[in-house]
Every structure is written in C-alpha cells, then in structure tokens.
C-alpha cells in the first residue's frame, strides 16, 4: 500500500534542503546558466541540461511600483524562490487599439530585468485572458466592439487580435534578449488561462480553439516550453498544469509521459472580497500540500499564488475585490513578510471537502 505519510516526510526533507541551498546561493541562479537550453521530460523542466526542482512565487508588476520591485524580488529570493511568475495584462498595455503603454508600473521589460539582475528565473503567463480578479479578465474594452467577435473560441476576429498581442509580447521579449536561450531569465510561458472551465460552453469550437492557441504559441519559437493551466486536453508539446489548493489530490497528472507535473497556482490564501471575512491559510497546510504534490504526483515545479498580492490601483480590479490584493500572502501589500508585519495569526486550513 502507498504510504502517504512516509512519502510526505521524504518530500519535506527535500523541501528543507532546497530552501537551505537557495538561501545559501548554491549556483542555481540565472546568472550562472543563462544562454543554455530549456526543455522538459516526464520528470521536470530541464534547464541547461539539468532537471530542476523549482519553487516560484507570483508577483504582478501592475500591482506594485517600480521602486518596490528590487526589495520585493530580494525578499522572494531570501524566501528561497527560484522563479518569479507574472501575468501579462493586455488592457493596461493596449488601452486603445494600436496604442501601447509599457511605462511606469507597466514596464514589463524593466520588471523582468530586475528579476534577472537578482538571479531568478521568470515564468511569463501571457494569456492574454488572465482572470486574476482583474477588470474584464485582462481584455481591453475596445475588443468588445470588434465586429462579429466572440471571445475565447474558434472565432477569426478574436484569434486575429489575440495572436497579434501575443506576438507583440513575444517579439518584445526576443528583442530584449529575455528568453533563457538568449541569456535571459524566461524559462517557460503560458498561453490562455483555465480555459477548461468554460470550454464545454463553446461546443466543438472550444477544442478547436485550444489546438489553435497551442499551435500559434509554439509557432512563435521562443526556445522555451509553453504551458496551459487547468487544461487536461492541452495538445503536445504544451504542458498541462494544475491550479488549486490541493493539487497533490486533484491533479489528474500530465496528459503525456513526456510532460512534468507543474503546479502553477498554489493558493496561499483567499483574495479579500468586500463584505467577507479574511481567510488565511496556515503555513502547515501549504507545506503539507506541497510535499504531497511532490510525493504523490512527482511534482517538480510549485508556484505560490500570490507570493506578493500588492495593490489594486485605479479601477483595474474586479468590482468585488478590495484594494489590497492577497494581503495574507507571504509578502504583504507593502512587501514585508506577513508574520513580520502583522504577527503570526491563526491560519485558515482548507480541506478537500
């Protein structure tokens, strides 16, 4: 019989060793390996010829300021992370069709370069639909007025605009030399986001759209793997990944023996909603979930969502979400470790029920 307790104990030892070596600066960082190859096999992402156990944390450049980025990233590295993961926000970058904005809080290149300067990798979730409790799911409002458009399905007007934006972002990353084979920090990218949740509503157009999005992304030739989260039918070579609280239990696993088990969103808490009580997730619950994912699913990549939630500036947050986003994450709204700024509060433990 499979002994979860013994397997988890082993995984916890591995987690402790990984955290210790990260804090010590053991040469696992970008500056010592940039310019190599990123592939994957059935066990892990393979960076410059080496299978990697990677721990990531989500931070959104739009929810903080450029002045905060160095300290946020430094604290994330101090916490033992290897990777910073972020969405790309279409509606802030193209608020008016054909007019782009990559300045200030929206300076994606500057954010990625700061991550690279501090020796961490990047997981870039281009989408362009992102959800993220963000206005219109990240879509610009002008997209709604495109004639004959239907979002997120096998619809030519939508696919044309989606491909144009994704290509714009990928071309910018290439021009700046930010993909790992170019010497940059980006080791993996994501196209679409949690589409499986709505795919049946589009009938036969849903699967066709998934295949198109995969082919479009791979055709951009970034030199690094692509993934789709919550997409069990992600076509090869796209890696299907898990989002949730207990992926060690809920993840069906990679849909191909050539794909590793990746957890793109390990929810560290619940985002605050107006009128609702704050719900915190205990450190012990998160640690057990990670260990179980590694032990039971042979997981090799875990990204904490969020590691730093930050601030919903302006009117870009979904209408029900508070100004502080994921303030119970490891780094609070101001970039301090949660237990340092607010004391150790009793956690909210989730279960599988």
**Length of the chain, in residues:** 353
Look at residue 291 in the predicted model and tell me its pLDDT: 98
pLDDT tens per residue, the chain (353 residues)?
Answer: 333 343 444 444 445 444 434 433 444 455 454 689 999 999 999 999 999 999 999 999 999 999 999 999 999 999 999 999 999 999 999 999 999 999 999 999 999 999 999 999 999 999 999 999 999 999 999 999 999 999 999 999 999 999 999 999 999 999 999 999 999 999 999 999 999 999 999 999 999 999 999 999 999 999 999 999 999 999 999 999 999 999 999 999 999 999 999 999 999 998 889 998 878 899 999 999 999 999 999 999 999 999 999 999 999 999 999 999 998 899 999 999 866 444 333 333 333 33
The answer to whether residue 352 is domain-embedded is no
Least Cα distance to 116 among 90, 87, 82 occurs for: 82
The answer to whether residue 351 is domain-embedded is no
Structurally, how many domains does the chain consist of?
A: 1
Look at residue 2 in the predicted model and tell me its pLDDT: 33
Identify whether the C-beta of residue 186 lies closer than 8 Å to the C-beta of residue 179: yes
Whole-prediction pTM = 0.90
Could you please report the per-residue DSSP string of 89-155?
Answer: -HHHH-SBTTB---SGGG-HHHHHHHHHHTT-EEEEEEES---TTBGGGG--GGGGGSTT--TTSS-
Look at residue 30 in the predicted model and tell me its pLDDT: 56
Is 194 a catalytic site residue?
yes
Q: Which residue among 194, 333, 340, 346 is the active-site one?
A: 194
The answer to whether residue 114 is domain-embedded is yes
Q: How far apart are the first and last CA of the chain?
A: 24
Look at residue 292 in the predicted model and tell me its pLDDT: 98
The dihedral built from the CA positions of residue 105, 109, 112 and 118, taken in this order, carries a sign that is negative
Q: How many angstroms separate the CA atoms of 210 and 343, rounded? A: 45
- CATH number of the domain encompassing residue 330: 3.20.20.80
Look at residue 198 in the predicted model and tell me its pLDDT: 97
Give residues with Cβ within 8 angstroms of 123, minimum separation 6.
Answer: 56, 83, 84, 85, 86, 186, 187, 188, 189, 190, 264, 303
Residue with token string 């957890």: 263
Question: What is the domain extent for residue 266?
Answer: 4-342
The answer to whether residue 87 is domain-embedded is yes
Q: How many angstroms separate the CA atoms of 229 and 243, rounded? A: 7
Give residues with Cβ within 8 angstroms of 163, minimum separation 6.
Answer: 216
Q: How many angstroms separate the CA atoms of 8 and 218, rounded? A: 36
CA 164 vs. chain centroid, Å, equals 22
The answer to whether residue 353 is domain-embedded is no
Q: Which residue among 58, 94, 114, 265 is the active-site one?
A: 265
Q: How many angstroms separate the CA atoms of 103 and 85, rounded? A: 20
**CA gyration radius, the chain:** 19
Look at residue 339 in the predicted model and tell me its pLDDT: 60
Helices 108-117 + 69-78 axis angle, to 10: 40
Pair of tokens at residue 241: 């990944």
């Amino acid at each position: 019989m499979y002994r979860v307790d013994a397997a988890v104990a082993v995984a916890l030892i591995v987690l402790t060793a990984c955290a210790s070596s990260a804090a010590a600066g053991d040469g696992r960082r970008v500056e010592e390996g940039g310019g190599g190859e990123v592939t994957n096999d059935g066990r892990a992402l393979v960076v410059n010829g080496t299978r990697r156990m990677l721990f990531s944390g989500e931070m959104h450049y739009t929810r903080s300021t450029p002045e905060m980025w160095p300290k946020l990233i430094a604290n994330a590295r101090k916490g033992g992370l290897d990777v910073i993961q972020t969405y790309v926000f279409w509606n802030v970058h193209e608020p008016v069709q054909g007019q782009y904005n990559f300045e200030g809080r929206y300076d994606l290149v500057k954010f990625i370069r700061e991550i690279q300067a501090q020796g961490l990798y990047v997981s870039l979730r281009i989408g362009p639909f992102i959800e993220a409790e963000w206005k219109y799911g990240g879509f610009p409002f002008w997209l709604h007025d495109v004639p004959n458009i239907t979002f997120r399905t096998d619809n030519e007007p939508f696919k044309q605009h989606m491909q144009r934006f994704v290509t714009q972002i990928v071309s910018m990353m290439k021009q700046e030399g930010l993909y790992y084979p170019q010497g940059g920090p980006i080791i993996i990218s994501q196209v679409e986001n949690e589409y499986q949740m709505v795919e049946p509503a589009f009938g036969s157009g849903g699967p066709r759209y998934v295949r198109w999005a995969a082919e479009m992304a791979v055709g951009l030739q970034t030199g690094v793997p692509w993934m789709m989260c919550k997409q069990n039918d992600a076509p090869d070579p796209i890696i299907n990944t898990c989002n949730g609280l207990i992926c060690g239990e809920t993840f069906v696993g990679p849909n191909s023996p050539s794909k590793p088990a990746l957890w793109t969103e390990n929810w560290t808490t619940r985002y605050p909603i107006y009128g609702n009580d704050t719900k915190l997730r205990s450190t012990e619950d998160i640690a057990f979930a990670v260990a179980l994912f590694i032990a039971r699913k042979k997981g090799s990549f875990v990204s904490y969502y969020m590691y730093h939630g930050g601030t919903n500036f302006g009117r870009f947050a979904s209408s029900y979400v508070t100004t502080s986003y994921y303030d119970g994450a490891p780094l609070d709204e101001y970039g301090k470790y949660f237990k340092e700024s607010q004391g150790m509060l009793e956690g909210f433990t989730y279960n599988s029920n």
